[in-house]
Amino acid sequence: GDTKVPMSLLEKGAYINYQRIEDNLVIVRERLRRPLTLSEKILYGHLDDAQGQDIERGVSYLKLRPDRVACQDATAQMALLQFMSAGMPTAAVPTTVHCDHLIEAQIGGVKDLARAISINKEVYDFLATATAKYGLGFWKPGSGIIHQIILENYAFPGGLMIGTDSHTPNAGGLGMIACGVGGADAVDVMADIPWELKCPKVIGVNLTGKIGGWTTPKDVILKVAGILTVKGGTGAIVEYKGPGVESLSCTGMATICNMGAEIGATTSMFPFNNRMVDYLNATKRPDIANYAKQFAHNLRADEGAEYDQVIDINLSELEPHINGPFTPDLATPISQFASEVKKNGWPDELKVALIGSCTNSSYEDMSRSASIAKEASDHGLDVKSQFTITPGSEQVRATIERDGQIGVFEQVGGLVLANACGPCIGQWDRKDVEKGVANSIITSYNRNFTGRNDANPATHAFVASPDIVTAMAFAGSLSFNPLTDSLTGSDGKTFKTPSSRPPEDRASVQVAVDPKSDRLQLLSPFKPWDGEPKDLPILIKVKGKCTTDHISAGGPWLKYRGHLENISQNCLIGAINAENGEANKVKNQLTGEYGAVPQVAAQYREKGIKWVVIGDSNYGEGSSREHAALEPRFLGGLAIIVRSFARIHETNLKKQGMLALTFVDPADYDKIQPSDRVDIEGLDSFAPGKNLTLVAKHADGSKDEIPLAHSFNEGQIAWFKAGSALNLMAAKAKG
């Protein structure tokens, strides 16, 4: 019909488009002629070209049109800088930025927040002004954790969202397909380039029975993680279904989807149901609930839909679980936990209990935890372990302050931290245990790999529901089984929605980037292609494994992720030089002197000389970080020529306007000498499927003509010629 329902109360002019799903599905059903799972319906409902798209689960690559983008502050910096360099007035779809990752927990919410605001001032100022300028939503430090705020304000059933954070799937609790991606994907969608996703397989989790007692939604995902392990969800969407679903609250379903990231799933999601209606009403979005009801037939799986794998869980029989230490898929039912502690020699004394994180920081989570604390407090108990509480958003914090839960936490000795990621992402100035000393902590978070929370490799971190974590804080011991207690938690209440509207007059906003900053730097568009490359030096001939970590190292370098020039000082410093077997030591072919890879690259660039990299097999595997493609381009590289590429890195290079090329015969890698000068022939008639030629001119005067293959399509060739994908989109936007 002609209904127009806004995606969010905080945005104007952006509406839910259920009609597109309906229209696309008519075409897809005609083609596939089989029942569809829920996630297939939502995904295919967002296809860029439902008629022309190949659709085969686990095989084809889908080109999709997401409804929204979400970024957290650590990953947003380079994404926004890139988007700005495209020169577009605003993002193609509604986009929000959330300041939650950079706040360190030290002494308590208010003071920690003030400290973070002063330490990260330039980053926050940049994000605040850039979002204002380009009409994006901005959530300042202290407003809350990205996924909680999205659930409260932006997620809706049947939507498709990408987010630059691995726990973006949280929004699956409200029936959205929400996927964690790298910054490059976010920039694409903001710049109106379709988002590519390998057509996921589908794992069905059939829930029967009814949840209750000490068993919480968290225990569903702790159990599923134990069954599927940390790799079991790779390339798949996990779809929950069955009569048990209605016994889970909406924020509980979000908890389950959130931690689905730990099994490597593309995302997880639930079908539209009455608990989602309750939550939409409670968060003042009854129009969305009513609109979704009209399209409910598209928001659940078809009868008879087929899954690649099915898991059955009876909620009535499910025990609370505790997962860990050191990996989230080591699942132990609470009834066996004490004996496992003993058997494995895990430290029995519980040092710290932490509740919160994007996984478990809703009003419901806080309330259940507070009611357990209250009962203990009524019996005159204080916590035995340290106890920290992270509310998921300022809405949650203000509400639990109003309703007295914060008072209870503080009365029993708890420390309420800032509404942010805090210890979950290692932003924790932990003082009670020395590095290297074995000890146990338990959290309601999602991730517990070695050193994640406190950088101490000897810390045994366990993951459980907030209820179990709270009860254990009073026991101070891992061997305690709280199941004899008979407390049950209260359920969902209403939240208010704070404003994050971009200002009306955006033209006058100046984006704040201090030219002297070492953490942020504005980007200039890369130069367009300017003719046949001749006599290029080889910056490095890489031998063996070269992951995105070898190309752009993490750790301390992450501080510079908003400053391309500074972070480029890590470019390829981990790659092994085939000439001498060493890392970060290459010959400057102009001077004959050896230097660090980024320095030699910059020396070539200063002389106006483009260069190439020769690489081995599966070049660029690992995380999708876009810096690994931005840096060589920034330093003046023209082509990366390898035996084979990891696909995402290959695409990222193309987006930045670089030539990603492969040897037709992988053995030709051996014909290249590090001191060769190379020509690349055939770019004048650069076309899909047509090989190029590498002329390798050796120092002794001989040469080899080596055929090079590429996977550029027409659109990607246009990116190369324009200098980058963003350059091309900017040119289109100007008309």
Min. distance of Cβ 109 from ligand F3S in angstroms? 15
Q: Cα dist. 541→577, 600, 710 in Å? A: 6, 14, 19
d(CA 582, CA 598): 15
Q: How many residues does the chain have?
A: 735
One residue of 40, 165, 185, 676 binding ligand F3S per CB under 6 A: 165
Could you give the string, one character per residue 99-118, with x where binding to ligand F3S holds by CB under 6 A and - elsewhere? -x------------------
Active site residue 100: yes
One residue of 145, 177, 277, 538 binding ligand F3S per CB under 6 A: 145
DSSP letter assigned to residue 679: E
SS3 at position 472: helix
Could you give the string, one character per residue 446-485, with x where binding to ligand F3S holds by CB under 6 A and - elsewhere? x---------------------------------------
- Report whether 74 contacts 124 (CB < 8 A): no
Site for ligand F3S contains 268 (CB under 6 A): no
Min. distance of Cβ 81 from ligand F3S in angstroms? 21
Site for ligand F3S contains 190 (CB under 6 A): no
Instruction: Please say whether the dihedral angle defined by the alpha carbons of residues 369, 372, 375 and 378, taken in this order, is positive or negative.
Output: negative
Site for ligand F3S contains 418 (CB under 6 A): no
Active site residue 643: no
Min. distance of Cβ 147 from ligand F3S in angstroms? 6
Site for ligand F3S contains 167 (CB under 6 A): yes
Stretch of 142-150, 283-291, 323-331, 509-517 contacting ligand F3S, by CB under 6 A:
142-150
Question: For residues 372 and 424, which CB has a smaller minimum distance to ligand F3S in the complex?
Answer: 424
- 589 - beta bridge partners? none
One residue of 53, 216, 298, 357 binding ligand F3S per CB under 6 A: 357
d(CA 638, CA 609): 10
Question: For residues 393 and 584, which CB has a smaller minimum distance to ligand F3S in the complex?
Answer: 393
Q: H/E element holding 477?
A: none
- Report whether 127 contacts 138 (CB < 8 A): yes
Residues 508-527 contacting ligand F3S, CB under 6 A:
none
Active-site annotation holder among 623, 644, 675, 711: 623
- Report whether 734 contacts 536 (CB < 8 A): no
Site for ligand F3S contains 146 (CB under 6 A): yes
- Report whether 189 contacts 288 (CB < 8 A): no
Question: For residues 450 and 588, which CB has a smaller minimum distance to ligand F3S in the complex?
Answer: 450
Min. distance of Cβ 607 from ligand F3S in angstroms? 43
- Report whether 40 contacts 34 (CB < 8 A): no
Backbone angles phi and psi of 354, in degrees to 5: -125, 125
DSSP of 166-181? TTGGGGGGGT-EEEE-
d(CA 61, CA 163): 19
Min. distance of Cβ 577 from ligand F3S in angstroms? 36
Question: For residues 113 and 358, which CB has a smaller minimum distance to ligand F3S in the complex?
Answer: 358
Site for ligand F3S contains 329 (CB under 6 A): no
One residue of 424, 578, 613, 658 binding ligand F3S per CB under 6 A: 424
Min. distance of Cβ 173 from ligand F3S in angstroms? 14
d(CA 405, CA 384): 19
Stretch of 35-43, 201-209, 421-429, 653-661 contacting ligand F3S, by CB under 6 A:
421-429
Site for ligand F3S contains 265 (CB under 6 A): no
Site for ligand F3S contains 425 (CB under 6 A): yes
Rg (CA), the chain: 26
Active-site annotation holder among 65, 101, 397, 550: 101
One residue of 263, 318, 421, 546 binding ligand F3S per CB under 6 A: 421
Stretch of 129-137, 289-297, 417-425, 561-569 contacting ligand F3S, by CB under 6 A:
417-425
Site for ligand F3S contains 168 (CB under 6 A): no
CA 430 to chain centroid: 26
Question: For residues 62 and 146, which CB has a smaller minimum distance to ligand F3S in the complex?
Answer: 146
Structure-token match 């019909």, residue found: 1
**Helix 647-655 vs helix 725-734: angle between axes, to the nearest 10 degrees?**
40
- Report whether 102 contacts 146 (CB < 8 A): no
Question: For residues 268 and 357, which CB has a smaller minimum distance to ligand F3S in the complex?
Answer: 357
Active-site annotation holder among 275, 430, 563, 625: 625
d(CA 354, CA 468): 11
d(CA 493, CA 405): 13
Active site residue 486: no
Active-site annotation holder among 67, 73, 112, 165: 165
Residues touching ligand F3S, count (CB under 6 A): 12
Q: Nearest Cα to 90, choosing from 195, 189, 196, 194?
A: 189
Give burial (CB, 10 Å; 0-12/13-18/19+) of 322.
Answer: buried
Site for ligand F3S contains 155 (CB under 6 A): no
Backbone angles phi and psi of 48, in degrees to 5: -70, -35
Site for ligand F3S contains 358 (CB under 6 A): yes
Question: CA angle, 638 as apex, 636 and 643 as ends, to 5°?
Answer: 130
Question: For residues 97 and 635, which CB has a smaller minimum distance to ligand F3S in the complex?
Answer: 97
CA 692 to chain centroid: 36
Active site residue 460: no
Site for ligand F3S contains 193 (CB under 6 A): no
Active site residue 285: no
Question: For residues 147 and 550, which CB has a smaller minimum distance to ligand F3S in the complex?
Answer: 147
Nearby residues of 186 by Cβ (< 8 Å), 6 or more positions away? 69, 71, 75, 79, 95, 162, 163, 164
Active site residue 550: no
Question: CA angle, 575 as apex, 650 and 426 as ends, to 5°?
Answer: 85
Active site residues per annotation: 100-101, 165, 447, 623, 625
**Interaction site with ligand F3S (CB under 6 A):** 100, 145-147, 165, 167, 357-358, 421, 424-425, 446
